[in-house]
Structures are given as C-alpha cells and as structure tokens.
Amino acid sequence: MKIHAFVSMVTLCFAAISFAQDDSGLKKTSHPRIIASPGPVTEAEADATFKRVDDLLKAVLHVTVSPRPVHGVSAGSPITKEEVVKELSRLYRAVEPWFSNTPNATKVDYARLVFKTQREKSDLVLLVRTGFIGNYGPLATGKTQALTVQEFGDSLGYFLARLGECTHTSSTKWTPYLHGI
C-alpha cells in the first residue's frame, strides 16, 4: 500500500512540474525550406562549390591547390560533364602527393564510358581506375552533358569520400581490415 501511494505521489509531482513549465520564453526559429532545383547545375553554382572544396582542402589537408582557370562563368548556363571531370582531375592531382594509402585499381568498363575529347577520356579513365568516379556513375556513363543537382552532388560526394579514404592514415588499433578481420 505504501509503494502504491509513493508511486502515485511521484507521478503527480512529475505531472505538476511538466504543467508548470513555461514554454513562452522559448524562441521558435523557422528555417527556410530547401528545395533542389529540377534543372541542371549552373556554372556559377558549380564554381562556388569548387571554391569551397578548394578552401576545404587548404584548411583540412593543408594542400595548396593550383588556382582554378579563370573563364567566363555564366550564371544561367549549365556546367558540362567535361568541365566537372576536368575540375575533379585538377583536385586529384593536387592532393595525390598527400595520399597515405594507394588506391586499389578498379576495372574500367571502356565500352560504357561516354566522353567528348581525348583529354576528358584520359582524366575520366584515371579517376574511374582509382575509384574517384563511379564506373557506372553519371560522369562516366551519363548520356546528357548537363548534370542535375543530385548527379552533381553524388559525384562530388563520391569523390570526396574516396579522397578522405586515401588521405587517412590507418591505425592498426582502429582499422579492422589491417587485422585481417
């Protein structure tokens, strides 16, 4: 009987405390809703993104990245796959001396690669072979030259994830595959 009375009293105390709290002092913040554009990524958007990646590499890896080539960036025209591959190749070459892990070679499906110029093909093959671009991703096999926001984001995220993997110094304590597990 005493336990029942004690549990009832504790429940009433918690109920009284929860009703007594005043939520009027809390500031409610409304955040703008972010909606991905259904159209292709523009040169200006891609340029701003690559500048942020350059700054990220300088801050995190202390890598001095060669300056991006200056060309007329149009706010409305879409960026092409060729330009994205060229930028990713430039970043790859800048960070390559800081790799602590050698990327395993990936088999390249040459029959599915879509490219315009021989330079784009050599950059594309290098990035696919080292695993920085997906073998069947939009940059390697996409039929259209323009990239959607999702395709651009996935390609850049894939590249940065592989970059983090190759510049990470593995530890036998925290990396299980070094133990053969």
Look at residue 13 and tell me if it is in a domain.
no
CB contact at 8 A, 136 and 112: yes
Look at residue 37 and tell me if it is in a domain.
no
Look at residue 1 and tell me if it is in a domain.
no
DSSP readout, 66-124? PPPPP----SSSBPBHHHHHHHHHHHHHHHGGG-SSPPPP----TTT---SSHHHHHHH
CA dihedral 85, 90, 93, 95 (to 10 degrees): -110
Look at residue 164 and tell me if it is in a domain.
yes
User: By residue range, what is the domain housing residue 73?
Assistant: 43-170
Number of structural domains, the chain?
Answer: 1
pLDDT of residue 6: 55
User: Which SS3 state, helix, strand or coil, does residue 177 take?
Assistant: helix
From the list 99, 180, 86, 85, the residue with the least C-alpha distance to 140 is: 85
The span from the CA of 64 to the CA of 55, in Å, is 9
pTM of the model: 0.73
Report mean pLDDT in 10-residue bins for the chain, 181 residues. Answer: 57 54 65 75 89 91 77 75 92 90 84 83 91 89 88 92 86 66 54
Look at residue 103 and tell me if it is in a domain.
yes
The two three-digit tokens of residue 52, written as one number: 């942020």
Look at residue 21 and tell me if it is in a domain.
no
Look at residue 8 and tell me if it is in a domain.
no
Look at residue 157 and tell me if it is in a domain.
yes
Nearest-10 crossing angle of helices 149-167, 43-60: 20
The two three-digit tokens of residue 86, written as one number: 């060229």
pLDDT digits (tens, 9 = 90+) for 124-153: 999 999 999 988 888 888 888 889 989 999
